[in-house]
Structure 1
Amino acid sequence: MEQLPHCETLLLEKHGPALFLTINRPDVRNAMSLQMVAELSTIFNQIEQDNTIRAVVIRGKDGHFCAGGDIKDMAGARGQKADEGQHDPFYKLNRAFGHMIQQVNESSKVVIAVTEGAVMGGGFGLACVSDVAIAGPTARFGMPETSLGVIPAQIAPFVVERIGLTQARRLALLGLRIDAREACALGIVHQAADSETQLEELLQATLERVRLCAPNATAETKALLHRVGHEPMNKLLDSAAETFAEAIRGPEGAEGTMAFMQKREPKWADDSN
């Protein structure tokens, strides 16, 4: 991504190997519109081919992460009728979000969610597909769908993967809202900051660890983790051994070993590379 594209719902800034992606709809607590879904999907599609980007930091502008789906889009879909043989407009709206969140989930980049204020519905789902989630002191998480007469159709599977069926049942069936501390205890987020200052410190510490880890090895490891539970273990371990052999004989394996022996940082830790 030589030049960052212009987005109407997102702010994009590149700092070293990290792309900072800020949801920019503060007037509606960064609620997720169809346009935002399309722009997120476009960005994640483009960065997949960009080796200079190793991490994506997602956060919301002006104190809120994302308050869920945009009511205006839902109202618009209600006024539309499905053409004969076509899917219901509500299906298309909901499924578009599902495609995007799956794309974020399976991205080869390290996805870091910095959550503050409202982290509801689709925003909650976005936090649940991050590789690292950090919560600020104002963060409030929830799956309010059942209290609104709808279902968390696209996020529920990812919530179950994140925290397990038992806890997902409680949150989803009661439409609960929880604070950052409980979200951390449940495993929705990995760290909960006591202050805005600490939140930034935790983010910088995470980005420092991304800098020190080999990009290709990180991407292969993430892909391997996603395969667990979806294929026979023997087949998975055979495949993982082949990938391991390729990695240790490859340029990153050679450089990592040499850097360790020479007591220096590996070349990939240089932000200018």
Structure 2
Amino acid sequence: MNQAVQPEAARPSAPAVIVREVQGVLFATLNAPSTRNALAPEVVAALDAAVARAEADGAVRALVLRGAGGFFCAGGNVGNFRARLDAGPGGDDPVASRNREFGYFMQRLAALPVPVVAAVEGAAMGGGMGLACAADIVLATRDARFALSETTLGIIAAQIAPFVVARIGAAATRRLGLSGERASGDAAVALGLADELAADGAALDALLAEWLTRICRCGPQANRAFKPLVARAARLPQGEALDEAARLFAQCMRGEGAEGIQAFRDKRDAAWVARFDAAAVRAAQATQD
């Protein structure tokens, strides 16, 4: 008797962003190499979920952004642009509203109270460059390219513009946005797009491990207090900023500060110190188990 052929079970689709936590560090790896990790809605939603996790979980010490397949991020998904345009403006312009949605995510990423590190290989184009500019520390391979490529398509770098200006200034932003220039290597460092360069992907793993070890020598709650203080200090009158700083200093002193000062006196590591090596970094960002 012939048995009915059962349909093959559908394989679960790969996650748009792979998130792993190692010693309190969240590694968020964009995982759409077929589109060079373009910012499709599911990618942005997964990144937003990783940011929300880092916000809510006081044990998270840093967030690392990297792209799978040796490519950081190609920016916006052009296929989605076409679909939005075909919808027409109507009462609520879908092009404008979807564009602004990405801006809300960018605001949340930039305001994250823990250090954000971008590890850039291949290229950070358009919105991908925006992701890097929202990070606190940008590490890149020497041949990685940064570009505001939107104007070459007849559109503009809209929601990322304030974050690019905040990182590299208005003059450099105009230079890149009005020319479509691709900056790499020493030029990227000179413009402020990258903080430090590595020769290749393997060297980038080692460099990232060095920076995470530095970050994890710092008190995690002290970092969560300091980063927002820096952001507020740029907006508040000086006296208000100093009042806020004094309050936070006292809070830290009565918290982690007691352990940090005692560890210094004892000539030992504080309880929160963690170390990373290239192998641990590589494993945390692997796209396959």
Per the normalisation by structure 1, the TM-score is 0.92
Is it true that 1:257 corresponds to 2:235 in the alignment?
no
Unpaired runs of at least 5, structure 1: 1-5
Conserved 8 A contact 1:115-1:133: yes
- Structure 1 Cα separation of the partners of residues 110 and 70 of structure 2: 24
**Identical positions, percent:** 40
Question: Partner letter of residue 36 of structure 2?
Answer: R
Aligned counterpart in structure 2 of residue 170 of structure 1, from 154, 166, 175? 175
Match of 1:36 in 2: 43
Match of 2:249 in 1: 244
Aligned counterpart in structure 2 of residue 144 of structure 1, from 124, 149, 165? 149
- Structure 1 Cα separation of the partners of residues 186 and 95 of structure 2: 34
> 1:216–1:186: structure 2 CA closer, same or farther, 3 Å change rule?
same
> 1:266–1:120: structure 2 CA closer, same or farther, 3 Å change rule?
same
Is it true that 1:69 corresponds to 2:79 in the alignment?
no
- Structure 2 Cα separation of the partners of residues 200 and 270 of structure 1: 17
State the shift of 1:141 in Å. Answer: 0.4
Is it true that 1:156 corresponds to 2:154 in the alignment?
no
1:61-83 Cα deviation digits (max 9, x unpaired): 11110001001111110121345
Q: Secondary structure at the match of 1:174?
A: coil
Q: Secondary structure at the match of 1:31?
A: coil
Match of 1:10 in 2: 17
> 1:143–1:8: structure 2 CA closer, same or farther, 3 Å change rule?
same
- Structure 1 Cα separation of the partners of residues 134 and 34 of structure 2: 25
- Structure 2 Cα separation of the partners of residues 173 and 12 of structure 1: 35
Q: Secondary structure at the match of 1:267?
A: coil
1:15-72 Cα deviation digits (max 9, x unpaired): 2111111101101111111121122112211221112221111100111100010011
Q: Secondary structure at the match of 1:113?
A: strand
- Structure 2 Cα separation of the partners of residues 256 and 15 of structure 1: 22
Question: Partner letter of residue 15 of structure 2?
Answer: E
Question: Partner letter of residue 258 of structure 2?
Answer: A
Match of 1:269 in 2: 273
Match of 2:238 in 1: 233
Q: Secondary structure at the match of 2:57?
A: coil
Match of 1:95 in 2: 100
Aligned residues: 263
Match of 1:3 in 2: none
State the shift of 1:7 in Å. Answer: 7.4
Match of 1:50 in 2: 57
Conserved 8 A contact 1:31-1:67: yes
Conserved 8 A contact 2:19-2:50: no
- Structure 1 Cα separation of the partners of residues 274 and 122 of structure 2: 34
- Structure 2 Cα separation of the partners of residues 112 and 40 of structure 1: 14
Aligned counterpart in structure 2 of residue 219 of structure 1, from 185, 202, 224? 224
Question: Partner letter of residue 269 of structure 1?
Answer: V
Match of 1:130 in 2: 135
